[in-house]
Amino acid sequence: MEMEEEKAHVLFVDDERRILSTMRMLFRSDYNLHFANSAQEAIDFLKRQAVDVIVSDQRMPGMTGVDLLREAKDLRAEAMRILLTGYSDLNAIIGSINEGEIFRFVNKPWINQELKTTVAQAVEAAKATRDAIRAAREDGEEAVQQSNLPAALVLDEDAGIAPAIQQIMGEQYRIVGATTIEDAIATMESEAVGVVITDTRVEGRSVVNLLSTLKEYNPELISMVVTARADAGMAIELINQGQIYRFITKPLRDTQCKIAVAAALTQHRRMARHNQLSQRYQVQKTSKATEASQPLASSLMSRIRSLRRLVTGAA
Amino acid sequence: MKILKQLFGLLLAAGAIAVLVFLVRLTQSVDGDLHLKRLAAIQNVDDLDVALNRAVTLNRVSSLALAGDDKMAIIGQLGDAMDALDVGPLSLRGMSPEIDAALDQFLTTAGDKFVLAFDFDIRYAQVSSRLIKSVDAVPIFIHRVRRLLSDEHPMVKVLERLQSEVMALTVSSAAEASQVSRIQDYLNDIENLAAGDELSGFVVDPELTRLVKQLTSSARDVIGDKQELNERLDAFFATPTAAHLQELEDVYSLRHEALVAKAAGYRQYLIAYAVVLLLVLAMLGLRLRSSFRELDKANETLEAQVEERTQDLSDTLKELRASQTHLIQSEKMASLGQMVAGVAHEINTPLGYARGNADIVKTSLIDIGHVCAQQNRALNLIASGDAPEHEVAEALTQAISLDQEVSTGELVEDLDNLLLDTEHGLKQIAELVASLKDFSRVDRSRNDLFDVNLGIESALKICQSQLKSGITVNKVFGELPEIECSPSQVNQIFLNIITNAAQAIESAKRPDGRLFIHSKAENGGVSVRFLDNGCGMSAEVREKIFEPFFTTKPVGKGTGLGMSIIFRIIEDHGGKIEVKSIEGKGTEFMLWLPLRQAEEAPETQDETIAVAA
């Protein structure tokens, strides 16, 4: 028995006990289950015990799911965070991305099998990265060396955005601009790029597929979305399928932008140093090809695949 | 300023008219008619003077009495005519010093003439009678003297000549000097002859001497009287009344001509002035006309402008109506979105576990089915009786182990609970959907009987998700009569106020958020108080909250119509709403709705309000 690996610990948080009952029935054979009836209860629990995955409701009395997940990130950085919610406005979704750094966003009512898969992925990622996280946290203490930083690529139809971000970031950061996907890939082929900053749509197409493909083959690449077209559905797709690291709305605010881009570059360095970490950012495989996320041309796909060498090589 | 200008214009016009009147009076100062009458009066005086002269002349030659009467009448008329020149309407006096002097001169002269005339009359009467006596005496004395004388006496011839001369003198109107001197000569001759006789020694009859003396005396009286009368008459005729009258007339005529000339001069001025005035009037007329024309034109363009403006205004009104409709629509969509967010969460949570549970039950039933199948197999083997024992035992073992594996009993219990949960969840969904249906009931009339407490409950249910984050709702519901109202509209009021309260508490970041709702029957209606301990609002905000489009929410979060729609709904229902608020402490809404609605045409109901929140 001792030899057998211990079951992962999963914490479910919801103010509706019946949800917790369902979760118990659904997962009882797979994990060590923990339940909290409120955000506060969950925080108290997390202070006592580490878990691999937290699944939280968004709307709860006293504290929202996003706030809970942000606290959880500080308390138990290694725990993967999933938001399970009946309805969330755009602000909540953006908050969960930027502050909660969540793994997935799951809508109620869920499909049992999909939820199981998502939780399983989260558990797997948590287990795989437990050591790396600790190492990375120690890294975090080190001063980030400003030299040697890879460039941040700005992909936006508006050619003015890249210079604007360059100005906000200052001289020590290198910002390169691209107005088409082809441009962007060409830039990445010729130069070490650690962060991709993009609008939600480029050349009239959603970037979800591009980001998803980039992430799939180059997990160390950190992606950020900067857009004026904030939309809840799009944001959920971007987090679930593109694993975006930050979601920023235009008009750009200097401080917010600076912190986000710097954090993204630091994150990229950690990822590059600790390969296992990339598992935390694996994207959701989606079978459905919506209109918004048409698959990329195969020529581009192959070029993206071959980027990996360049990205890792540069790190 | 305008009044001053008008006053100035008025004064100017009055001045112009005064000048005109003055000039007209000056030109009319010469009265032609009066002038002619005056001239006639002067002529009259002249005529009467002439008549008087003639009368006096006649008086001398004709019978005394008749001529005297005539003369007195003429004198009377002349006096009147002269008075007319002196005083009265035709008077010449006072016109000029020259005329006055001439008039005085004439009147004095005429007065003198009258005096002369009267003196003459008196003397004439005396002298005439003496003259007649003397004239009568002369022939008698001549005759007596003749008788005393011889025919050869030289005196006889002289006496004869004297007699004829005296007769001639008597009948002649004027006492001619030659005649008089001749008579004197004769008288001297007679006296000389008488005296000569004495000297020559003739016996002089004393009688003769006496008679001669008497004769010469009488003859001399005749001559004297005749001469006196003639002198007096001459003096009378010599009186220069005619000349003086002529002088007066001349002076007057001169004066008149001067006046006429002066008036003519004024007439020139008047004409010039009138021409100027006419020109000014013409100019004013032209200006008036042009300004009238402009006014006409302005009126025409004004009409066009008014029409244009009206068109613009009605276009703007249309646009405003359209945009208002649009905004109300946006507000509807915004609040609908908010409601959907809340309701979606409320529905999706029970739906989530119900669906999850159903799935679990479904998959669990497969396991249970397997257990059942295994158990059935074992039972069938036992029941058939001819099965080998080891087979039966194996089947039983398998069934039992499967049952243990699945832990069917426990599972069934769990599933039972899951199904109970599912049932509960479905019931919750059903309730929510029902209250949604209640809530959005599109009823047009305001005459439905409605339990306000139920409305509040239903609004609270819909707002449940918003109130969940740590807000305690404290309800004190009084026993309420059902009121006549539009339930969906009233529900909307509650929903709006509760939502605002929840947002106010949320933005105050208060962990002990409280919403106190108190309803009671009051003043022939129902009053409800909503008291929250949210962020409250400033006095400026409170003043504006019922204004359309006023919002404190960030752009895109609210159209600012919610409270204004509440206000309109309450107004439409004849109710009242009051708000008290202290910034940072909380807000209180007090609303009152009457028990019954006034009979009213239903068009005041606005469909857009019925759904907008």
- The answer to whether the Cβ–Cβ distance between B341 and A108 falls below 8 Å is no
Chain B residues in contact with A21 (beta carbon < 8 A): 353, 417-418, 421
Place of tokens 């029935």: A25
Distance from CA of B505 to the nearest CA of A (A): 12
- The answer to whether the Cβ–Cβ distance between B360 and A112 falls below 8 Å is yes
3-state SS, residue A36: strand
Paired sense of beta strands A201-202 and A193-198, if any:
unpaired
Paired sense of beta strands A53-57 and A104-107, if any:
unpaired
Number of inter-chain CB pairs under 8 A, A vs B: 88
pLDDT of residue A290: 45
Chain B residues in contact with A93 (beta carbon < 8 A): none
Chain A residues in contact with B340 (beta carbon < 8 A): 87
User: Shortest CB distance from A89 goes to which of B341, B353, B357?
Assistant: B341
Which string of DSSP letters, residue by residue, matches B72-83? HHHHHHHHHHHH
pLDDT of residue A3: 43
pLDDT of residue B420: 93
Chain B residues in contact with A18 (beta carbon < 8 A): 350, 353, 421, 424-425
In this predicted model, what pLDDT tens digit does every residue of A42-95 receive, in sequence order? 999 999 999 999 999 988 877 888 899 999 988 988 899 999 988 777 878 888
Structural tokens at position A56: 């939280």
Give the C-alpha separation, B242 to B220, whole Å: 35
Quick check: A64 contacting B, CB < 8 Å?
Answer: yes
Place of tokens 């120690």: A138
In this predicted model, what pLDDT tens digit does every residue of A107-125 receive, in sequence order? 888 999 999 999 999 998 8
Distance from CA of A110 to the nearest CA of B (A): 6
DSSP class of B90: T
Chain A residues in contact with B417 (beta carbon < 8 A): 21
**Measured between alpha carbons, how far apart are the two ends of chain A, in Å?**
42
In this predicted model, what pLDDT tens digit does every residue of B185-221 receive, in sequence order? 887 887 777 777 666 666 667 777 777 777 777 777 7
- The answer to whether the Cβ–Cβ distance between B345 and A18 falls below 8 Å is no
Quick check: A203 contacting B, CB < 8 Å?
Answer: no
Residue of A nearest to B345 (CA): A86
Give the C-alpha separation, A108 to A84, whole Å: 7
Band the pLDDT of B613: cuts 50, 70, 90.
very low
Chain A residues in contact with B418 (beta carbon < 8 A): 21-22, 25
Chain B residues in contact with A107 (beta carbon < 8 A): 348
Mutating which of A16, A23, A25 best tests the B interface, going by the most B Cβ atoms within 10 A? Answer: A25
- Among B360, B331, B172, A98, smallest CA distance to B323 is for B331
CA A115 to chain centre: 18
Distance from CA of A136 to the nearest CA of B (A): 35
Chain A residues in contact with B344 (beta carbon < 8 A): 86-87
Band the pLDDT of B1: cuts 50, 70, 90.
confident
pLDDT of residue A292: 44
Band the pLDDT of B551: cuts 50, 70, 90.
low
User: Which long-range contacts link A26-35 to residues 24+ away (Cβ below 8 Å)?
Assistant: A26/A112, A26/A115, A26/A116, A26/B356, A26/B360, A27/A116, A27/A119, A30/A116, A30/A120, A31/A7, A31/A119, A31/A123, A32/A6, A32/A7, A32/A8, A34/A9, A34/A10, A35/A11
Quick check: A85 contacting B, CB < 8 Å?
Answer: yes
Distance from CA of A158 to the nearest CA of B (A): 24
Quick check: A91 contacting B, CB < 8 Å?
Answer: no
- For a pLDDT cut of 70, what percent of chain B falls above it? 87
Chain B residues in contact with A15 (beta carbon < 8 A): 468
Distance from CA of A22 to the nearest CA of B (A): 6
**Range of B97-101, B175-179, B225-229, B400-404 with top mean pLDDT:** B400-404
Give the C-alpha separation, B523 to B155, whole Å: 168
Residue of B nearest to A26 (CA): B360
- The answer to whether the Cβ–Cβ distance between B348 and A109 falls below 8 Å is yes
pLDDT averaged over chain A?
82
- The tens place of each residue's pLDDT in chain A, 315 residues long, gives 444 568 899 999 998 899 999 999 999 889 999 999 999 999 999 999 999 999 999 888 778 888 999 999 889 888 999 999 887 778 788 888 888 888 998 988 899 999 999 999 999 888 887 777 666 666 554 545 555 678 899 999 888 888 989 888 888 888 999 988 888 888 888 888 889 999 888 888 888 888 888 888 888 888 999 988 878 888 888 888 888 889 888 888 888 888 888 888 888 887 777 766 676 777 776 544 444 445 566 777 777 777 765 554 443
Give the C-alpha separation, A31 to A24, whole Å: 10
User: Shortest CB distance from B351 goes to which of A25, A62, A109?
Assistant: A109
Chain A residues in contact with B356 (beta carbon < 8 A): 22-23, 26, 109-110, 112, 115
Chain A residues in contact with B354 (beta carbon < 8 A): 109
Quick check: B342 contacting A, CB < 8 Å?
Answer: yes
Report the pLDDT averaged over residues B381-385. 85
Cβ(B564)–Cβ(B547) under 8 Å? yes
Chain A residues in contact with B471 (beta carbon < 8 A): 61
Band the pLDDT of B358: cuts 50, 70, 90.
very high
pLDDT of residue A135: 67
Chain B residues in contact with A108 (beta carbon < 8 A): 345, 348-349, 351-352
- The answer to whether the Cβ–Cβ distance between B356 and A110 falls below 8 Å is yes
Distance from CA of A221 to the nearest CA of B (A): 35
pLDDT of residue A314: 42
Chain B residues in contact with A60 (beta carbon < 8 A): 468-469
Give the C-alpha separation, B300 to B321, whole Å: 31
- The answer to whether the Cβ–Cβ distance between A22 and B360 falls below 8 Å is yes
Lowest average pLDDT, out of A32-41, B61-70, B508-517, B563-572, goes to: B61-70
Cβ(A49)–Cβ(A27) under 8 Å? no
3-state SS, residue A294: coil
Give the C-alpha separation, B173 to B177, whole Å: 12
Which string of DSSP letters, residue by residue, matches A116-150? HHHHHHHHHHHHHHHHHHHHHHHHHHSPPPSTTPP
In this predicted model, what pLDDT tens digit does every residue of B5-30 receive, in sequence order? 889 988 988 988 888 888 888 777 77
Distance from CA of A261 to the nearest CA of B (A): 27
- Among B490, B484, B422, smallest CA distance to B458 is for B490
Complex ipTM above 0.90? no
C-alpha distances in angstroms, A225 versus A80, A82, A199, B479?
21, 20, 6, 56
Distance from CA of A21 to the nearest CA of B (A): 8
Quick check: A18 contacting B, CB < 8 Å?
Answer: yes
pLDDT of residue A211: 87
Q: Which residues of B192-207 are buried (b: 16+ CB within 10 A; e: fewer)?
A: ebbeebeeeeeebeee
- Phi and psi for B522 in degrees, rounded to 5? -155, 140
Q: Is the pLDDT of residue B422 over 90?
A: yes
More confident residue, B528 or B199: B528
Mutating which of A14, A18, A231 best tests the B interface, going by the most B Cβ atoms within 10 A? Answer: A18
3-state SS, residue B519: strand
Cβ(B487)–Cβ(B441) under 8 Å? yes
- The answer to whether the Cβ–Cβ distance between B425 and A89 falls below 8 Å is no
pLDDT averaged over chain B?
80
C-alpha distances in angstroms, B486 versus A175, A176, B451?
61, 62, 11
Residue B154 C-beta-side C-alpha neighbours within 13 Å: 10
In this predicted model, what pLDDT tens digit does every residue of B34-61 receive, in sequence order? 888 888 888 888 888 888 877 777 766 5
Distance from CA of A128 to the nearest CA of B (A): 29
Mutating which of B343, B346, B353 best tests the A interface, going by the most A Cβ atoms within 10 A? Answer: B353
- The answer to whether the Cβ–Cβ distance between A22 and B342 falls below 8 Å is no
Q: Which residues have CB under 8 Å from A26's CB, separation 6+?
A: A112, A115, A116, B356, B360
Question: What are the start-end ranges of the H helices in B172-240?
Answer: 177-200, 206-238
pLDDT of residue A5: 67
- The answer to whether the Cβ–Cβ distance between B421 and A26 falls below 8 Å is no
More confident residue, B571 or B337: B571
Place of tokens 């074992």: B378
Report the pLDDT averaged over residues B485-512. 84
Please tell me chain B's helix, strand, coil percentages from 3-state DSSP, rounded to the nearest 5. Answer: 75, 10, 15
Amino acid at B426: L
- The answer to whether the Cβ–Cβ distance between A87 and B357 falls below 8 Å is no
**Range of B44-48, B437-441, B603-607 with top mean pLDDT:** B44-48
Quick check: A15 contacting B, CB < 8 Å?
Answer: yes
Place of tokens 């003086």: B244
